Structure 1
Amino acid sequence: MTEKTSTFVVTHAEDESAVVRDVDTAQVHTLASNPGLEVHDVLEATVAPEPPMDVTWEVIDVADRRTIDLVDSDLEPTQHEKELAADSELGDLVQEERAGTGEIHVFRVPEGEVEPAAQDVLADEETIARAARIEAVRVEVRRSADDGVLSVRYLPD
């Protein structure tokens, strides 16, 4: 195996080790040591397997490091987001690029399922990975139980 340069999200961190996931390939690498990483950190980094068995990896270079904030907002989706959801079928995901950078994901969920759906999005590892891929640093989840609308806003800051 050889070194690999990519964008990684930290999925598990302890004092002595950490686990990172490549956001493009979903490949998981266990690090033999933890160079101060915390869960949800995003690294633009190079990792390499550690000899002699090449089972664990080490971070050999970090070009960039950032943290993605997950925000469980008490705000409702915007009027525009509600309009996007109104034109979609129940459960269908509507994606829209934001002006500048970032994305907005909107979907309708069944009555009574808005809160569980919001919690699922906040707990899903893929939410952080998606944010890392599109270079967002903040993910804001908004919901409207009255309308059955959930919006996930991937924001640059």
Structure 2
Amino acid sequence: MTEKTGTFVVTHAESESAVVRDVETAQVHTLASNPGLEIHDVLEATVAPDPPLEVTWQVVEVGGRRRVDLVDSDLEPTQHAKELAADAAVGDLVTEPRAGTGEIHVLSLPESEVESAARDVLEDEETVCRAARLEAVRVEVRRSADAGILSIRYLPD
């Protein structure tokens, strides 16, 4: 095994160890120690096998560290998100880059499924991994059950 450099999301953290996931390959690495990491931290780092057995990994260099905050907003989707949803069939996902950094995802859903879909997005590890790939530090989930719209905003700050 060799060193790997990339972007990693912390998916599990205890005082003595942590688990990180490479956001590009989805490969999971169990760290032999926890250098102060918390769940949802994003590391631009290099990891290497931990000697002598090389069954766990260690962080050998950190180029950057940030945290992804998941926000369950009580705000309605923006007018733009509503316009994107208006052109989508129920069940369709519309994605659009934000001006600058980030992305907006809009789902058109049956009214009865909006709340559970919002919970799923907020609890899904892939939401944080996507935010890391998009260089976002905040994921804001907005919804309108009456209109059947779920908006996920991947924001740089």
TM-score relative to the length of structure 2: 0.99
Structure 1 residues without counterparts, runs of 5 or longer:
none
Alpha-carbon distance, 1:67 to partner: 0.3
Structure 2 residues without counterparts, runs of 5 or longer:
none
Give matches, 1:1-157, under 5 Å: 1-157=1-157
Aligned-partner residue type, residue 101 of structure 2: T
Alpha-carbon distance, 1:147 to partner: 0.3
> How far apart, CA to CA, are the structure 1 residues paired with 2:100 and 2:65?
22
1:49-89, Cα deviation, whole Å (9 max, x unpaired)? 01222110000000000001100000010111011011011
> How far apart, CA to CA, are the structure 2 residues paired with 1:138 and 1:83?
23
Structure 1 runs of 4+ off > 4 angstroms? Answer: none
> How far apart, CA to CA, are the structure 1 residues paired with 2:82 and 2:121?
18
> How far apart, CA to CA, are the structure 1 residues paired with 2:81 and 2:21?
31
Aligned-partner residue type, residue 48 of structure 1: A
> How far apart, CA to CA, are the structure 1 residues paired with 2:51 and 2:114?
48
> How far apart, CA to CA, are the structure 2 residues paired with 1:26 and 1:43?
14
> How far apart, CA to CA, are the structure 2 residues paired with 1:111 and 1:70?
23
> How far apart, CA to CA, are the structure 2 residues paired with 1:68 and 1:86?
29
Alpha-carbon distance, 1:136 to partner: 0.3
Aligned-partner residue type, residue 134 of structure 1: L
Structure 2 residue matching 1:113: 3-state secondary structure = helix
TM-score relative to the length of structure 1: 0.99
Aligned-partner residue type, residue 154 of structure 1: Y
Q: What is the CA RMSD across the aligned residues, in angstroms? A: 0.6
1:69-110, Cα deviation, whole Å (9 max, x unpaired)? 100000010111011011011111100011111100001111
> How far apart, CA to CA, are the structure 1 residues paired with 2:51 and 2:37?
22
User: Taking every aligned residue pair, what percent have the same amino acid on both sides?
Assistant: 79
